[in-house]
Amino acid sequence: MSGGLLVAGTTSDAGKSVLTAGICRWLHRKGVRVAPFKAQNMSNNSAVVVGPDGRGGEIGRAQAMQAAACGLAPDLRFNPVLLKPGSDLASQVVLLGEAVDTITAGTFRQLRPRLAETAYAALAELRATYDVVVCEGAGSPAEINLRAGDYVNMGLARHANLPTIVVGDIDRGGVFASMFGTVALLDPEDQALIAGFVINKFRGDLGLLQPGLDMLRHVTGRPTYGVVPWALDLWLDAEDSLAYGRVLGRPAAPRGTEWLDVAVVRLPRISNATDVEALATEPGVRVRLTVEPAELAAADLVVLPGSKSTVADLAWLRETGLADAVAAHVAAGKPLLGLCGGFQMLGRAIHDPVESRQGSVPGLGMLPIEITFDPRKTVRQSVGTAHGGLPVRGYEIHHGYVSHADPTLAPLLTGADGAGEGAVLGAVHGTHWHGAFESDQFRRWFLTEAARLAGRTGFQVAPDTSFAAARERSLDLLGDLVEEHLDTDALWRLVESGPPAGLPFIPPGPPPS
């Protein structure tokens, strides 16, 4: 068979990514050869995939997570178009893994036909390879101002005749109005593909919800395929940094007598913030994102994460007083960690004719290095060791590189080629590698060292925490939620048979042209 399904949403962060992953996991456990697909993603959270030519390329991190739910290695075709915002007006375009352009809203219109053609071709290849492809939409299909050039929501559904389900987040309120409005704003041809709804993040008595479900079916002629309950344990691999709350996950009680408090600066253009999720899986480690200087003062470990706009976010640090708070933290002898863009900020100078085009600007001056930006983007998976041979795996996505360093500066990591990577100077640590803390032994060593530097002598790492196992538990939980709370027989009929016939048109639809 060559079945397909589109998971659309009433809004961004309605639950499309996790529902897509859950459906993928359910089908995978049934023995179905299933793959994920998102025609176009806009996110600064990306994963590195090795393409057919052996070169590294990028896809949205959510599609890498969905691939794991399918039991597959990530594939560049799972997310053929990735837009990485560098400002409110411009985004880098990554096409089949390779950065090809930087666009604005105006120039996007000229590039859009090429992007759509690439996305449609990738979907066709996947449908020829797998039994089922579960597609994820972007934002809302009712962004009617963008419908004419859409190739990720109803444009994709109409191109491939995909039955579409609409997921809404009831925790935000207004879910019934947003579901009805989503359908009613679409034209008849699009409405004919909207098969029904899924409600996400429900807390309470399902009986109290039933009258609303009944009325939604009455006014739209479409069923609700299920109501997914709120699940506190679903926080790994967030699609968007906006999905983060102040504290990541559900911190388990410490194994020792003290907690380790980690403050992650929430940069305006934060990138691959999922790095710190691995720290949050450890018992006794409380990880929170913050923009408050006072919270840095109270933290044991401060993290400067990755950034899609290193120079602009560095200026923001200074404007908000956070740079002074970071300096005070280091002056007190407490540990600081810089990751990728955050690492670049720690140097003496940044020379950037590429990303910000601001030339040379002073860094925070906490490491004796200088960073220079190159038009060529480093995108690769990395393997190496740390601290006397601890195995480390990670990945790199950056334009900046260390162009000058004090020769006596100690590296944080050693690559497979024997070259040092990153830096350690006193309590200051930095690396270009993302994902390194998913390596359990390295994470335990680093947290132990951070606790020592912070004076948390009662903190103790757990010897048995496995980040890979935590991710698998999360994916299995998604599959369980789909199996237990959705009408999977009805979903299978959609996948197998396509959009139901005779779905009613809900006025008003778009105005006559």
Same domain, 176 and 289: no
How does DSSP classify residue 503? P
- Nearby residues of 322 by Cβ (< 8 Å), 6 or more positions away: 265, 291, 293, 296, 316
In 3D space, the residue among 453, 457, 460, 459 whose CA is nearest the CA of residue 337 turns out to be: 453
Same domain (yes/no): 430, 480: no
Question: Is residue 81, in this structure, part of any structural domain at all?
Answer: no
Nearest to 405 by CA among 421, 417, 389, 388: 421
User: Which of residues 376 and 194 earns the better pLDDT score?
Assistant: 194
- Domain stops at, among 461, 488, 505: 461
pLDDT of amino acid 85? 83
**What pLDDT score was predicted for residue 175?**
93
Q: Is the whole model's pTM more than 0.75, yes or no? A: yes
Is residue 212 domain-shared with residue 291, that is, in the same domain?
Answer: no
- The answer to whether position 58 is within a domain reads no
- pLDDT value of residue 453: 97
Q: Let me know whether 280 and 326 are in one domain.
A: yes
Same domain? 198 vs 286? no
Q: Taking a C-beta distance cutoff of 8 angstroms, is the pair 201, 230 a contact?
A: yes
The pLDDT score that the predictor gives to residue 151 is: 93
Mark whether 382 and 453 lie in a shared domain: yes
Closest by CA to 359, choosing from 348, 349, 351, 371, is 351
What burial class does residue 211 get, using C-beta atoms within 10 Å of its C-beta: 0-12 exposed, 13-18 middle, 19+ buried? exposed
Catalytic hit among 329, 399, 429, 434: 434
Please tell me whether residues 303 and 420 are part of one structural domain: yes
Number of domain units in the chain? 2
pLDDT band at 168 (very low <50, low <70, confident <90, very high): very high
Residue type at 436 in one-letter notation: A
230-258 residue pLDDT tens: 887 776 766 654 455 577 877 889 999 99
512 found inside a domain: no
pLDDT tens across 418-466, in order? 899 999 999 999 999 999 999 999 999 999 999 999 999 999 999 999 9
Output the DSSP codes for 269-332.
Answer: TEE-GGGGHHHHTSTTEEEEEE--HHHHHH-SEEEE-EESSHHHHHHHHHHHTHHHHHHHHHHT
Let me know if 407 is exposed, middle or buried by CB neighbors in 10 A (0-12, 13-18, 19+): exposed
Q: Is residue 44 part of a domain?
A: no
Catalytic residue among 24, 329, 340, 399: 340
- Residue 177 forms part of a structural domain: yes
Q: What mean pLDDT comes out for the span 186-206?
A: 94
pLDDT at 16: 93
- In tens, the pLDDT along 104-147 reads 877 888 888 999 999 999 999 999 999 999 999 998 999 988 88
**Residue matched to tokens 């709804």:** 197
Average per-residue pLDDT for the chain: 92
pLDDT tens digits along 43-60 = 888 888 888 878 888 899
Residue 261 has pLDDT above 50, yes or no: yes
Q: What's the mean pLDDT in 459-484?
A: 93
Query: Do 306 and 181 share a domain, yes or no?
Result: no
Residue 495 backbone dihedrals phi, psi, to 5 degrees: -60, -40
Q: What are phi and psi of 393, to 5 degrees?
A: -120, 145
Does the residue 380 lie in any domain?
Answer: yes
Q: Residue 315's domain is classified under what CATH number?
A: 3.40.50.880
Work out the pLDDT band at 7, boundaries 50, 70, 90. very high
Distances (CA, A) of 391 to 158, 437, 455: 48, 11, 27
Q: Is 135 a catalytic residue?
A: no
**Residue 264 and residue 137 share a domain:** no
The reported pLDDT for the residue numbered 110 is 85
Q: What percent of the chain has pLDDT over 90?
A: 74
CATH of the domain at 213: 3.40.50.300
How many Cβ atoms from other residues are within 10 Å of residue 276's Cβ? 21
On whether both 426 and 485 belong to a single domain, the answer is no
Residue 51 falls within a domain, yes or no?
Answer: no
Is 14 a residue whose pLDDT tops 90?
Answer: no
Containing 159, the helix (H) or strand (E) segment is helix 154-160
Active-site residue flag, 340: yes
Q: Output phi, psi for 168, to 5 deg.
A: -130, 145
Does residue 510 lie in a domain region?
no
Beta strands in 291-440, from DSSP E residues, in sequence order? 301-304, 306-307, 336-339, 349-352, 359-362, 369-386, 390-405, 413-415, 420-421, 423-425, 428-431
Least confident of 86-95, 263-272, 329-338: 86-95
Which residue range forms the structural domain that includes residue 34? 3-38+65-72+112-234+472-497
171: pLDDT strictly greater than 70: yes
Task: State whether 360 and 443 are in the same domain.
Answer: yes
Does 270 share its domain with 198?
Answer: no
